[in-house]
Structures are given as C-alpha cells and as structure tokens.
Amino acid sequence: MKTKNSYNPDARNIALLPRPAYKEVLVIISKSEQINHNLLHQYFPNATFSFLSNRTEKEDNSKGMNYTLHKKDFFFKTLKNERLKNLTKKTFDLLIDLNEDNDKLIYFVENINAGLKIGCFNKPNNHLYDILTKPSLEIVDVVNSMVKQLDILTLNNKK
Amino acid sequence: MINLKGLGVAMVTPFNADMSIDFESLKKLTHYLIDNGVHYLVVQGTTGESPVLSEQEKLAVLDTVIKENAGRLPIVYGIGGNNTQQVAKQLAEFDVPGVDAILSVSPYYSKPTQEGIFQHFKTLAANSKLPIILYNVPGRTSSNMLPETTLRLAKTCENIIGIKEACGDLNQVMHLIKDKPMDFYIISGDDDLALPFINIGGDGVISVIGNGLPKAFSNMINAALNNDIITARKFHYQCFPLIYHLFSEGNPAGIKEVLKYYNITETTVRLPLMNVSATTKGKIVEILNNL
C-alpha cells in the first residue's frame, strides 16, 4: 500500500504564470506527426519547445529539442538511454502531456522537473498532474481545452 | 497528527426560545459527549446549523467548546463553501488555538467538474495552516466527488488528511479504500452506514446520532474497529431505528428532540428548519423509551 505523499508535488514550486511567461515547454506526445507547431507557438509565443514522442526503430537518431523513446530504452524500469537521461535532468516551466497510450512515457511526467504539469483525465497516475483536462480524439481540442483551463486558473490565482 | 479513528460527533448548536445561542446547554452537551466515549468533536458542521449562524456566533460557539473541552479531545471546525477565493481567505486568516483540523464541504450548488473540485480543494489546502478533511455529500451538494478526485487530492496535498464520505455508495467507498495512501482517513458521513463502512476498511464516522446516544454509538464504533462484529451489530441495531426518524424532517431538528429527551438542550432550530412534527416526535420518544 502506498504511503501518503510518496509523491509530493508540493515539494515543487508550482508555477501558474500568464502564458507569455512560459519559456521552456516540454510536450509529450505519442507520435511526433500529431504536433501542431503553429497552435503551440500561438498559445505560448515566447516559449522554446522540446518534444518527446515514441519511435519504432531501436536506434535513437533524435536531435536537438526532439527526444524519442523506444521500449528497449528501458531495462525493466531503469532508463538506459543517455540522451533521455539528460532530458530528465532538465528543468521546464511547463510540461504538456498529450500522450494517450504509451505508459512508459509516464516515467518522464513523474521524473522531469517542471513548474506546471498538464495532462488528460482517464490516465493512471492522475496525481502527477497539476491540471487535468478532458481527453478528446483531436489533439487540437485537447490543447485548446488545456489552455482554457490554464487561463482560468492563472486569473483566479492572480485574484 | 490528529487521530480521526473512531467516533466524531458533529455537534448541534443549542438555541434558547428567543433563537439566541444557549451557551449553558452547549457546555452541557460538550461534557456529555466527552464523558460518554466520543473520540473527537466537530464544531460548526451543517448539523451545527452553520449556514444560519453569523461568523461571530460561530466563533463564540467554537470558543465555548474549546474552553469546556480543555484539550481533552481533538476538535475539528467546519469552514467550507462554493466560493473558492472566499473560503481560501477564511482559511488563511483562521488562527484559533485548540482547533486540530478543518472540515470542508465540497462546493455545492455550482455543480463543478471534477477538475474544478480538485482545483478548489488544492487552493484551500495551499491556504490552510491546519489539516483539511474533505466532505463529500452529493445528496446535499448536488455533485459527487469521485474517488479519482479524492485520491488525487490525497496524493498531492500534504495537508489533506482524510474525507468524510457521505455518498451513500459503499462501492465508491471501496474504490477509495483500495487505493488510498495508508495514513489518509476515510470517515463515514452516514450514521446508518457506519458499521458496514468500518467493516470494509473505513476509520469511523462523523455522526449526528452521536449527539444523543454517544455511549451506545461509541460502543458500536469501538466494537467494529476491534473486529467484534457481534457486539457491533447489537449496538448498530439498537441505534438503527432511530436514525431514519432523525433525518426525516431535516437535520438537526430530529436529533434536537433526542437531546431534549435527555434534558441536554431545547429543540429550537432556526429557519428554514422547523421542529419535527408531533408524529415524528412521538416515534422518536417511543424508540428512546424502549432503548
């Protein structure tokens, strides 16, 4: 049985900021081709984006701000891929999890230090997220909904 | 950390015939509960008619109970509402020595989403100096806080330490108990379900009937927590017939009839509550005569 606060996000400094203030944003998504870059840049105009998605080939050829995960990057529950290990050491202002099906990607939601973590309902480990939104078939709808919630909470927090 | 295992009593607020607070009866009630095996006191829950008391009156009631209690039992105080910012402000400013935890009802009337409920309590937790006990009572709030939301709060907010669960659905309670963090309290908010609630792993009850029958009800709770099912069942069925009548014409009108029977308080309630009908009163008295 889990002890209360085995995971404690209160230990983090949760940063609810106006959207233009987010500078470093990590987007986790099942497949990289699902990303709508224009939409993200429109909502977070001053952000530099990093992306983490799945890959099918065993070798990791990802570069720059793009990171990819293969199931063999884990040996049991230990991460072996050096590039991904370095990713977990980075700090982000915002983590957006749009991934729908790969449970291995949850490792990064838990282990990456981000000021704010946003995800969708109907996932295990709901407690890892600061804000949850309704899942939808369209990624665009999910992003729109997340941004709407983020704005409401930021305004309330300011008040 | 406050121990919430056992019987907590949601105390009524006694009134004089002129509707002012009857502090002498309140003192009598406090001693009656402490002397008869109650484990902690809950002041200004809805059973204390908190919606019809001014802030000043609520604090006067709390002050009286704290003084009479003299540190013997833990005290839980009710602060809740459906205006997140206002409740958060109240919590941030609340600083009364002698109070061990806050009981806060899930936002009512507005029918928020589960995410809305989560963010509401997260805001309260961030503003409260004291531990918070959530209160889910869909029958009164018109929105059910689902186990996923409760568990998310339990796992993310250090000072949210338990829930008073009055959803009336033991299946929902089992989902909570199955996945809850070890030191998160699951407390029944329904007197009639307190025994089955403990049998499936709950920690006790925040009770209304405990105002009138603290001895019998604490005996039942103690026996249930000690896995003495025969004794627990005996006391459960002793109290059970009374419970229906306590709530049939609005709480705390029913329990105030019981307290009148035992000469502890008068039956006066403030509008919109009314005293129970002669028929209900007759049934309550008949049950008490046969206890």
CB spacing of A2 vs B182 below 8 angstroms: yes
- Over chain B (291 residues), the average pLDDT of each successive run of 10 is 95 97 98 98 97 97 98 98 96 96 96 96 96 97 96 96 97 96 97 97 98 97 97 95 93 97 96 94 95 88
Alpha-carbon B270 to chain mean position: 19
| Among B32, B40, B77, B135, the one annotated catalytic | B135
Contacts of B184 in chain A (CB under 8 A): 4
Cα–Cα dist B171/B155, whole Å: 21
Q: Is B47 labeled as ligand-binding?
A: yes
Would residue A8 count as lying in a domain? no
pLDDT at B69: 98
Residue A30 pLDDT class (50, 70, 90 cuts) = confident
Domain range for A45: 18-158
pLDDT at B58: 98
pLDDT at B184: 97
Contacts of B86 in chain A (CB under 8 A): none
Touching check for A8 and chain B: CB below 8 Å? yes
Mind giving me the DSSP string for A97-141? E---S-GGGHHHHHHSEEEEEEEESSSS-GGG-SEEE---SSHHH
Alpha-carbon B126 to chain mean position: 23
The CATH number given to whatever domain includes residue A131 is 3.40.50
Residue A139 pLDDT class (50, 70, 90 cuts) = confident
- Higher per-residue pLDDT: B255 or A62: B255
Is B77 considered catalytic here?
A: no
B269 Cβ neighbours under 8 A, 6+ residues apart: B15, B49, B250, B252, B253, B256, B275
User: What is the ipTM for the molecules in this complex?
Assistant: 0.70
Would residue A7 count as lying in a domain? no
The predicted-structure confidence for A68-93, as pLDDT tens digits, reads as follows 999 899 988 899 999 999 999 999 99
Touching check for A63 and chain B: CB below 8 Å? no
Please count the residues of chain A. 159
pLDDT at A9: 53
Which residue from B minimizes the CA distance to A6? Answer: B155
pLDDT at A2: 44
pLDDT at A1: 39
Cα–Cα dist A128/B144, whole Å: 22
Would residue B277 count as lying in a domain? no
Quote the number of domains for chain A: 1
Residue A7 pLDDT class (50, 70, 90 cuts) = low
Question: Collapsing DSSP states into helix, strand and coil, what is residue B284?
Answer: helix
B290 Cβ neighbours under 8 A, 6+ residues apart: none
Contacts of B151 in chain A (CB under 8 A): 126-127
Instruction: Decide the pairing of beta strands B204-207 and B6-10.
Output: parallel
Would residue B276 count as lying in a domain? no
Name the β-bridge partners of B15. Answer: B21
The residue among A94, A88, A98, A70 whose CA lies nearest residue A13 is A94
Touching check for A71 and chain B: CB below 8 Å? no
Cα–Cα dist A129/A95, whole Å: 9
What single DSSP character describes residue B210?
G
Contacts of B181 in chain A (CB under 8 A): 1-6
pLDDT at B248: 92
CA-angle at A13, arms to B79 and A144, nearest 5°: 85
Which residue from A minimizes the CA distance to B180? Answer: A2
The CATH number given to whatever domain includes residue B158 is 3.20.20.70
Would residue A58 count as lying in a domain? yes
| Among B164, B180, B281, B283, the one annotated catalytic | B164
From edge to edge, which strands make up the β-sheet containing A131-133?
Answer: A66-69, A48-54, A24-28, A91-97, A113-120, A131-133
A121 CA: distance to closest CA in chain B (Å): 9
CB spacing of B84 vs A156 below 8 angstroms: yes
Would residue B266 count as lying in a domain? no
> Measured between alpha carbons, how far is residue B229 from residues B17, B133, B170, B224 in Å?
43, 28, 18, 6
Give yes or no for a contact between B50 and B44, defined as CB atoms under 8 angstroms apart: yes
Would residue B255 count as lying in a domain? no
Question: Collapsing DSSP states into helix, strand and coil, what is residue B118?
Answer: helix
Would residue B205 count as lying in a domain? yes
Domain range for B139: 6-231
Burial class (CB in 10 A: 0-12, 13-18, 19+), A156: middle
Is B135 considered catalytic here?
A: yes
Would residue A85 count as lying in a domain? yes
pLDDT at A11: 63
What single DSSP character describes residue A57?
S
Quote the number of domains for chain B: 1
The predicted-structure confidence for B244-274, as pLDDT tens digits, reads as follows 999 999 999 999 999 999 999 999 999 999 9
Residue A31 pLDDT class (50, 70, 90 cuts) = confident
